[in-house]
Structure 1
Amino acid sequence: MDPNAFQRGGQVAGYYQRPQPPPRQLFDPNSVRGPPPNYQAEQHMRQAQYLDQIASVEVANVAMSSSEREEKEAFRTRLEKVVHEVCAANPDRLPEVSLESFGSFKSGFANAGSDMDLVIVLPDGSPFTADFGLLEDDLPRALEKRLLQLGYGARLLSRTRVPIIKICQKPHASLLDKLREERDKWDALDNEKKYPHLFPEGGEDDEENVAAAAGGAEAKPDKTAPVTLSAVNESGTTETEVNGNAKAVAQQAATNGSAPGPQNTNTASALSSNPEPIQQARPKRDNRPFTRERRMGPLDFPSNGVGIASDINFFNPLGLHNTQLLRCYSLCDPRVQPMVFFVKSWAKRRKINSSYSGTLSSYGYVLMVLHYLVNVARPAVLPNLQLPWRPNAQSTLMGGSRVECDGWVVDFWRNEDEIIKAVKAGQMSSNHESLGSLLEGFFRFYSSMGGGPQFHWVGSVLSLRSPNGILSKENKGWVKAVTQEGEGKKVQHRYLFCIEDPFELQHNVARTVTHFGIVAIRDEFRRARRILTAIGFGQTHDQDGELLDELVEKEVVAPAADVDGSAQVSAAANTASGIARPDASGSNMRDGVLQKPARFPQNKQSSPMNSAKARPPQPRQFNFTDRDAFPTLGRAKANSSARTTTTTTPQKFEVSEMSEISGDRARAYLEEVKRKKAEADAELTATGAAEAVLGGE
């Protein structure tokens, strides 16, 4: 009765003298077995060769040329002169500033034709602050007005996290007229509509309360008085103010002649703090179908034909440090830049790279690539520049470049010369995979399909600064969407997809990703994984196309009428109601457009009732107290008087009183059953899609 007697290679019980692997079991023909290791290597080799081939072509096409960089740098210089002109016109209010580039243009990750990101920077030791307001004579509004006068396309976005001016070099005449007309309309508004955050709702009583807090119960706020950038407290030191009510309170105190005593200082400091009340977001129901590509508005700049496009940020001090961090990562390995170029190009072609449409920004995809190269690839391609590791003792140690910016600690290995020397000496990484091999692992990791490590979209937070690169949403407190209100705008923070900013630890880079956006992003990673899997097996992938095929969102065309003349539901009605059918991957897709879960259209059968009317009949609701509500087949029809009245108490049905189903009534009954079944199927499909996003696989 030795249990090892029927095991090939088994040992006699009790004879083991040293630890040995368990005995091999007999062959099981029903067991699920993966491909042998050598076949897996062949699959990976095919996938890497495919990615290497298309990446070599794509990266060469999307990389920004030196001539384009020089042209954009010249445009930045011209814009900086305009900024200096505006500041010199009002030296008491506006400081001397410089206009510097940051973002992908500075880090080296900018694709050809991409926008140029610029930021207002104050010189060191300046008594002013870069936290500019939105008043008419403050820098954002004044600069927008001057740019329009000079013939540039300029539009101030005031509801973003920080004020941003979108600029285009050569706007069309019609576009420039619309932008100027919009600015004239804003200038014509009264101050209560221009600055609603300075005038709380409630009428005169609220204004009196604000004036009283400023230093006098008799005082009323001066709606047209300018607001100074700084105020002097009781000890004579300069305290920087911020936007919003604090500026109005401080200016009102100055207008009324009240001394800047302790009461005024405390009130201003209380109002100048960041808006603390955070309300839970209550998303409004939106019945419009989700489209990955944002519809252009009348004031939006076209992607082509308007010259160089640029964004000017007015308060983004951490953006410069983020840019330097990404630039240092790009210098750590020659494969980083082309990998980022390829992933950004893939996301753009598949239309999942727009924060305005509910998907992810290019900055988010860069952090996803860096996370894979630092924490997932083995051996690691990149070191974590925010950790103490250094390749040699001559490198700058942790803390050598530590600074505090906007209340956050900034510390990373930022010496470019030291990084370049370590790369040339071969001290940075022992990973020698090809670019295609790294891309294959990148798509496999974020698709959460196949073997190896996988990213858990539901509960994980990408944290580039952390030792392992992953935190949990619960530990971060990023489990519910919230809306932050302040200074006349609302900023919504979503946490469906979480990427922690390397320095501003409370900022989710993926906060703009909506429910439909994260479904679209995950669908694209799965599509890429299906294509690469088919290539690995040497199979065709005609259903998904090529990896870099551009997604074209099509309008649904109304189908032709039925043979009996009954019309189908129009395309406009389908679009408005969000009717969709699940595709092969389980998502509600229609011609590349992810649709919201909704009822399926009613099935239509050819019948006299359908041919008589343009729309299908609406079956009457069953009355459970009606004797004819549940008829049986083969029985004689009951008298019409038998169902003229209904009672609240159940009655006993006699066999003779049961009626058979007539032809029209049978068809109506069948339509009702089919409709309910279609609704149940649609609800099941929508539930499955939601669980895939919120509950994992």
Structure 2
Amino acid sequence: MAGAGGSSWVPWYEHASPVLYLEQLLGNVLKEVDMPLEERDAKLKFADRLQSLTQKAILKEYPNTHTNVALRGFGSFASGFALKGSDMDMVLMINGPDKEKLNFKDIANALKQSFKADGLGVYIISNTRVPIIKICEKPPAWFWEEQEKLETQAAVEASAFKAGDGKNVVGDGANNSETSHSMTNAGVSGEHSSESEAEDEEEKEARLRRKRVTEMANKTNAPKNSKVWYRERKLGKSDFPKSDAGILCDINMDNPMGLENTHLLRCYAACDVRVHPMATFVKAWASRRKINSSRDGTLSSYGYVLMVIHFLVHIIQPPVLPNLQHPQDWPGLQDLLHDEQSQFFADAINGHWIHYVRNVDALNYYGSKNISPNTMPVGRLLTEFFSYYGDPISGGHSWQGHVISLRTRHGGVLDKGEMGWNRATSEMVNGIEVRQRYLLAIEDPFETNHNVGRTVTNEGAGVMRREFKRAVSILRGMIGRGTPREDLMEEWVDKVVVDEGGQGEGNVGRGPVATDGPLSITASLARIGM
């Protein structure tokens, strides 16, 4: 395309300065956030400890049953995309003729007692489709005292409810997450089901916190219809601390879909050496900017990895990765498909068809041959990734209309309207109301009626879009000056943000700015709109 005066026009993301900046930044970020081998080894050892305790507890609880019990890793630690200091996710898989005789609630309580006796901090999120066990390797001194108070309070409230005073403790959003740990979102699956199953009750807590802060703000100069929203929720009374607590781990139960999602990501990472650093960088960026928490209304880290892989399969041209669910479209994979061990894995889980090339060793061999038609460095891939999601006017992702679909052939983009994903809905699952949102639509690779981005709220969608736009603005602004005007990876610190009644997507935080924040003497109200 010719520019003014006959000069050749070059898109901003092809210019050398932003690409070189990202290449340099990438190296520094990977040094900071990549999980060291020592930490990985410690977590594998901790997993072995949990496995031993689990098998003993199950044998004690069910001495005469014929079952095979195994704790298996899933999520980012198992897929290879974990950052330094991240939590572990495991799933308890039970197979055998007596499986139906086992009760997940009883199993969770048995494991809790076993872990507690071994000195671990533990509590159970019980009001989900299946219980979720939260574990802390080195619980602080106050944890057990706080747990005893909460369990006593929960027992009193449960007794009062049974006596007929009409108070439903589970449905009381003011207290659930801090008293009974009864966080609900039954029926949600995927790689990080523990995070998304807990989201609905966490959102209730966040809404109540915003209401309290808004009431305080109204006593100052904030407008009557304003509200306050935080990107990162404050820890509850008995939440495990983020540091000095050893290894943190969530144990889910009976989640075969999560295992397959995890393995699919491992397979994609094996195809090309650029996948891991690019996904790690995007995860680290989202973490620094506080837009990576499904519990707080943004997107899980799993969702960001799907966005990266989808971009490398479907959007960048030529593509970096094959579509492992349609390997026939990629000539380089044909030889692998003649190998019996790397044939399509095909099975049905809960009525969903699972099929993809799953032999990691074979895909590692494929990746080592460097036969991808795309030879761009990671810095260049990142500039185009940020452009695609942060500059929709230039033909990028439509947040309003597009569904990100990894499994789809020829383009990987579906229409929200055609899928019926153009407005939020509610459904009852096991007697619990589950909110389905589609502000950011990411189709699960296997469970195609599940939106991985369902946790993204109006506020969350707004800040995510602005962060992508901020990234584009920083990178584009380097052209002609060579240096960024601000640090792309600058850590976000929550301040009080006033939104004057804005309800629509992308309208959050555009209200007037006051001079003092109601929660901090030193923090002023900050405008986050661009």
- Tell me whether the two structures share a fold, i.e. TM-score over 0.5: yes
Alignment deviations for residues 154-197 of structure 1 (CA, whole Å, 9 cap, x no partner): 12123456432111100111023212332344456657959x9x
Offset of residue 300 of structure 1: 1.1
Query: Is contact 2:327-2:333 (8 Å) kept?
Result: no
Structure 2 segments unaligned to the other structure (5+ residues): 170-185, 188-202, 215-227, 515-526
Match of 1:146 in 2: 114
Aligned partner of 1:297 in structure 2 is 236
Tell me the TM-score normalised to structure 2 length. 0.78
Q: Percent identity?
A: 37
Note closer, same or farther for the CA distance 1:330–1:42 as it changes in structure 2 (3 Å cut). Answer: closer
CA change 1:415–1:102 in 2 (3 A) is: same
Determine helix, strand or coil for the equivalent of 1:417: helix
8 Å contact from structure 2 (residues 74, 90) kept in 1: yes
Distance, in Å, in 1 between the alignment partners of 2:20 and 2:235 is: 39
Q: Is the 8 A contact 1:122 1:130 kept in 2?
A: no
Structure 1 residue 91 displacement after superposition: 1.0
> Which protein, 1 or 2, shows the higher relative CO under an 8 Å CA cutoff with sep ≥ 6?
2
1:326-475 matches, cutoff 5 A: 326-389=265-328, 391-396=332-337, 400-427=344-371, 429-449=372-392, 451=394, 453-467=395-409, 468-475=411-418
Q: Whose helix proportion is higher, 1 or 2?
A: 2
Hey, what does 2:494 align to over in structure 1? 553
Give 5+ residue unaligned stretches, structure 1: 1-23, 25-31, 202-242, 245-280, 556-574, 589-593, 602-684, 693-697
CA distance in 1, matches of 2:352, 2:383: 36
Tell me what 2:28 maps to.
Answer: 57
CA contact (8 A) 2:116 2:122 kept: yes
Alpha-carbon displacement from aligned partner over 1:252-289 (angstroms, at most 9, x marks no partner): xxxxxxxxxxxxxxxxxxxxxxxxxxxxx999896451
- The residue number in structure 1 matching 2:191 is none
Q: Which of 133, 151, 160 pairs up with 1:165?
A: 133
**Contact (CA 8 Å) 2:465, 2:506: kept in 1 or not?**
no
How far off its partner does 1:303 sit?
A: 0.9
Aligned to 1:605: none
Q: Which residue of 2 aligns with 1:508?
A: 451
What residue number does 1:75 align with?
Answer: 46
Larger radius of gyration: 1
What RMSD in Å do the two structures reach over aligned CA positions? 3.7
Give 2:521's aligned residue. Answer: none
- The structural deviation recorded for 1:78 is 1.0
Once the 2 structures are TM-superposed, how far is the Cα of residue 415 of structure 1 from its aligned partner?
1.2
Alignment of 1:585-596 (within 5 A): 595=509
Q: Is the 8 A contact 1:154 1:179 kept in 2?
A: no
**1:495 lines up with 2:438 in the alignment:** yes
User: For the structure 1 residues 35 and 299, does the alpha-carbon distance in structure 2 shift closer, same or farther, using more than 3 Å as the test?
Assistant: farther
Q: Does 1:44 align with 2:15?
A: yes
> Which runs of structure 2 are paired with 1:200-349 in the superposition (5 Å)?
287=211, 288=214, 289-349=228-288
Asked if the contact 1:162–1:316 (Cα under 8 Å) also holds between the matched residues in 2, the reply is no
- The one-letter code matched in structure 1 to 2:35 is M
Tell whether the 8 Å contact from 2:34 to 2:84 is kept in structure 1 after alignment: yes
Q: Aligned pair in 2 of structure 1 residues 150, 462: CA closer, same or farther (>3 Å)?
A: same
Question: Are 2:74 and 1:102 equivalent residues in the alignment?
Answer: yes
Which moved further from structure 2: 413-422 or 513-522? 413-422
Q: What is the aligned length?
A: 459
Q: 1:439 to 1:147 in 2, by over 3 A?
A: same
Give, in angstroms, the shift of residue 487 of structure 1.
3.8
Deviations 1:194-245 (A, max 9, x none): 9x9xx999xxxxxxxxxxxxxxxxxxxxxxxxxxxxxxxxxxxxxxxxx99x
Distance 2:156 2:358 in 1: 49
Question: Does the 8 A contact of 1:107 with 1:324 survive in 2?
Answer: yes
Aligned-residue offset at 1:360: 0.4
What is the TM-score of this pair, normalised by structure 1?
0.60
Q: Which amino acid aligns with 2:425?
A: V
What is the CA distance between 1:40 and its match in structure 2?
4.7
* Contact 1:333/1:423 (8 A) holds in 2: yes
Is the CA contact 2:13–2:476 (under 8 Å) kept in the aligned structure 1? Answer: no
Question: 1:49, 1:184 → 2: CA distance?
Answer: 58
Show the counterpart of 2:193: none
Q: 2:145 aligns with which of 173, 177, 193?
A: 177
Contact 2:403 2:414 in 1 (8 A): yes
Cα contact 1:360–1:512 (8 A) shared by 2? yes
